[in-house]
Amino acid sequence: MVCGASWLAFSPHPPPAADLGWDKANHFTAFGTLAVIGLQCLAAGPRRRWIVLAVLLAYGILIELVQSQIPGRDADAQDVLADMIGAVIGVAVHALLLRVLTPRASPAR
Q: What is the mean pLDDT of the chain?
A: 87
HSE, side-chain direction, 13 A CA sphere, residue 13: 0
Q: Residue 90: CB partners within 8 Å, gap ≥ 6?
A: 31, 32, 33, 34, 35, 36, 39
Tens of pLDDT, residue by residue over 34-70, are 999 999 998 878 799 999 999 999 999 999 999 999 9
The structure's pTM equals 0.80
pLDDT (0 to 100) of residue 3 = 73
Alpha helices in 2-76 (DSSP H): 2-10, 23-41, 48-67
The yes-or-no verdict on residue 81 having pLDDT over 90 is yes
For position 82, what pLDDT does the model report?
Answer: 96
In this prediction, residue 77 carries a pLDDT of 94
Do 5 and 30 contact (CB within 8 A), yes or no?
A: yes
Q: What is the pLDDT of residue 36?
A: 95
In Å, how far from its chain's centre is CA 30?
5
- Give the amino acid at 82: A
List the chain domain ranges.
21-101
